[in-house]
Amino acid sequence: MSMTIAPATDQLEPADIRGRVAELHEIRAAAERGPSTKATEAQHAKGKLTARERIELLFDPGSFSEVEQLRRHRATGFGLEAKKPYTDGVITGWGTVEGRTVFVYAHDFRIFGGALGEAHAEKIHKIMDMALSAGAPLVSLNDGAGARIQEGVSALAGYGGIFQRNTKASGVIPQISVMLGPCAGGAAYSPALTDFVFMVRDTSQMFITGPDVVKAVTGEEITQNGLGGADVHAQTSGVAHFAYDDEETCIAEVRYLLSMLPQNNRENPPKAPTADPVDRRSDVLLDLVPVDGNRPYDMAKVIEELVDDGEYLEVHEQWARNIICALARVGGEVVGIVANQPQSLAGVLDIEASEKAARFVQLCDAFNIPLVTLLDVPGFLPGVDQEHGGIIRHGAKLLYAYCNATVPRISLILRKAYGGAYIVMDSQSIGADLTYAWPTNEIAVMGAEGAANVIFRRQIAEAEDPEAMRARMVKEYKTELMHPYYAAERGLVDDVIDPAETRAVLVRSLAMLHAKHADLPSRKHGNPPQ
């Protein structure tokens, strides 16, 4: 690969300022062109954009300011002294997204395969420090081949500096990782430390050990995409929050996500005007959710009826589909929505759903995003695999996240809310500010059938007609303990509301809670279940 090398500064002849300025423009133009036309064509042939093309898509036109464009490495040996391209394979700087400042670093795969060396890492460290100091989001456009082997341990130390800064910035500024090429080995831990991971199908992969190592150690044969492609991480591992077919769509969605996040943890999310009436009735909800708790329905359609213009951004859409986590606006205000999905596993909580929702609740709490929880949950998923996999430990993550959250919290019980899952899903007893229910709600320790079998076991067994007795006892239990106003009568639900008026109720409640302030006990940090 040929590299453009500018003349050393000690070889420059004295000249007037115009000559020096002309020379500066030539050097900058060379740095912006990159190493060669051939390298650019090779990048495009893989279905990938160049780093600068990606930056143009991310930022508002003409807003990008580059930092350390003329940086070059100082390494020697293995031929490196003859290859000293400007930027050293990473472009860093800041720009605006819908008028708000955002910082970025973008690997340039055309230079050293985007591999990280000492100078490359120092550029990233600097822009991360700038983002934290300025209190603005950081986006990383990842397309690199890992550590620059020729620079040895210096490259590895560079990754350590990135990880340390990822951790320091966690919960302070939004951090978004966009995977647009390979990301292997230790490099994959930086995206894992950030708030959101975007991937592009076929062109981006993430794994700790590649297919060759896997085959050598375990004998398993697998492709790069099969091991760590976008769909694998979006559907199976849960590493990726979003997966798209092309870079243009992916980066457009990054912009959309940024429009719903605050600049930092000291600000509220940006409010947006809406033409959707705040008091709009949704009579369709009266028919959308069946009264029969055993009949499934699509919770996504409920969300569409409640949020502004039916628009929302679902996080981890393809992973743990029995729970929905989404960002949306209600009355122009950004909210985080956590909702059971009866279409998948009847909406039960399991290990993956608990982990997914817990991290989302923590994210919303960190960045001052109010939480709206929609309950229709029959309980935790029973089974040996769940118990041995640590459902107690993982379910406790969601419980901890809600209990620790100080943002406005509103819960709405649509139908079933049984057992420990009811408590965990932001019930009033763990600190929800307001709890509403529809007239179809059933709040209980367990379903009526199961409860009757336990409480009236002897009567049913001794009856001449056990099934008739069971049916009678089930009806009695429902009448006494599961009628829709039982919880409201005991102050565990603030109000039972008309489903069609839910949007208006949420808007009024969020407005009232807008200035909520809550303090946690003084501590270094908690010790959440792992």
Q: Which residue is listed with tokens 């042939």?
A: 45
Task: For residue 267, give both structure tokens.
Answer: 């600000």
3-state secondary structure 477-498: HHHHHCCCCHHHHCCCCCEECC
Q: Copy the structure tokens of residue 456.
A: 């009236």
CA distances from 521 to 170, 416, 525 (A): 20, 34, 10
Active-site residue set: 185-186, 420-421
The helix-helix angle for 448-455 and 466-481 (nearest 10°) equals: 110
Contact (CB, 8 A) for 410 and 432: yes
413, 443 contact by CB (below 8 A):
yes
Q: Which amino acid would we find at residue 185?
A: G
| 80: Cβ contacts below 8 Å, ≥ 6 apart | 73, 150, 151
The H-assigned helical ranges of 204-320 are 211-218, 224-228, 230-231, 247-258, 285-288, 299-306
Tokens matching residue 156 = 């590895």
370-394: burial string, b at 16+ Cβ within 10 Å, e else: bbbbbbbbbbbbeeeebeeeebeeb
Cite the DSSP H helix spans in 331-418.
351-366, 384-388, 391-404
Q: Which of 142, 145, 81, 153 is nearest to 118 (CA)?
A: 153
DSSP 8-state code for residue 349? B
d(CA 303, CA 376): 13
Q: Do residues 118 and 83 make contact, with C-beta atoms less than 8 angstroms apart?
A: no
Separate counts of helices (H) and strands (E) for the chain:
21, 17
Polymer length of the chain: 530
> What's the CA gap between 411 and 391, in Å, rounded?
23
